[in-house]
A = this chain, B = another copy of it.
Amino acid sequence: MTQIYVIGLGPGNTDQRTFEAQKALEEVTDIVGYGPYVERVDLPEHIRRHGSDNRVEIERAQHALRLAEEGRIVGVVSGGDAGVFGMASALFEAIEYGDPQWRNIEITVIPGITAVLAASARIGAPLGADFCVISLSDNLKPWDVVCRRVEMAAEAGFIIALYNPRSKSRPWQLGEAFGHLRPILPDETPVIFARAIGREDERLTYTDLAHADAEEVDMSTLVLIGNEYTRIIERENGQAWVYTLRKVTH
């Protein structure tokens, strides 16, 4: 039986990996993924590593499927959870439109701690209510779809998590998203910037929507926007917790 494990590595901190993910990593002969994720995995030297560039997800998935056909035990890795803007969807797309034999490959998707969960835990409990997760990247969807989703999420009262908020080729999108949110949400709505959570260069800050500055954000940042029930608890040590009340009155 040929086998692919699609493995969510979790955030940077390997302690936030699951036992199931670790066991799968110890079973693979080959590891396929975006270069930085492949390098992050602490595997023995004899494991073959196939790192590739960003934005070649389908080719990478096809490569993994061909390796599995050859009898290799393949780990396809993503940061966070592979099902949340990671490799899982690309792999199934490659199967659907690819060699019918690929449907006989055993695929095991192993969930991981995705960025929004790691970031929320780090600052308190901002997800204490209904929430939504939106990628601001317009590589694969029209920008007006992104804007409509951001606006409707705010109007519906969701906590909003923004993935891929900014990149060198798209420096303007987060600022424009804030522009769409400001007429809908109060100025004092808490906004959290959670960068590289669990890694050594972690940086966690919060502000409010009136003062949120997209220039402070890079591609490794998860942006969280609260709702009217999101609260800040100040502490004597200068740190603070951000959480969202569970009770909604209207």
Contact = CB atoms under 8 A, between A and B. Distances in A.
A15 B21 CA distance: 8
Interface string A234-250: 01100001011111111
A127 B149 CA distance: 15
A236 to B, nearest CB: 7
A74 to B, nearest CB: 16
Contacts of A10: 18
A233 B105 CA distance: 13
Given A111-B120, A130-B135, 16 more contacts: A6-B121, A89-B244, A89-B245, A92-B128, A92-B231, A95-B233, A96-B233, A109-B120, A109-B121, A109-B124, A111-B113, A111-B121, A114-B117, A141-B247, A145-B250, A152-B153
Interface of A: 6, 8, 10, 13-20, 22-23, 57, 81-84, 88-93, 95-96, 103-104, 107, 109-114, 117-118, 120-122, 124-135, 140-142, 145, 148-149, 152-153, 155-158, 231, 233, 235-236, 241, 243-250
